[in-house]
Amino acid sequence: MENEKEYTNGEITVVWKQHLCVHSGNCVRGLPSVFRPKVQPWIEVRGASSDEIMEQVKKCPSGALSFYYNKDKNA
């Protein structure tokens, strides 16, 4: 898929689909230790627990952010 990037912490992988992003800022305001728009790479999945990241990703209004458990993808 075009403009899709993945960031993993070993347990989960966050998928960012740039073409869907509406830049609402929910992710940055909710978890600034992970979602850092002025830094590359802008998603630092080691900045919070997997549970915290998953909860924040679920709040993405556009669907640009999603996640999966690595064990499920490799099963």
**Residue 42 has what pLDDT?**
96
Q: What is the pTM of this model?
A: 0.91
Q: What is the count of structural domains for the chain?
A: 1
- Per-residue pLDDT 10s for the chain (75 aa) are 568 999 999 999 999 999 999 999 999 999 999 999 999 999 999 999 999 999 999 999 999 999 999 998 766
The CATH number of the domain where 40 resides is what? Answer: 3.30.70.20
SS3 15: strand
**Residue 29 has what pLDDT?**
97
**Domain span holding position 29:** 4-73
Which own/partner contact pairs does 31-39 have at CB distance under 8 Å and 24+ positions apart? 31/56
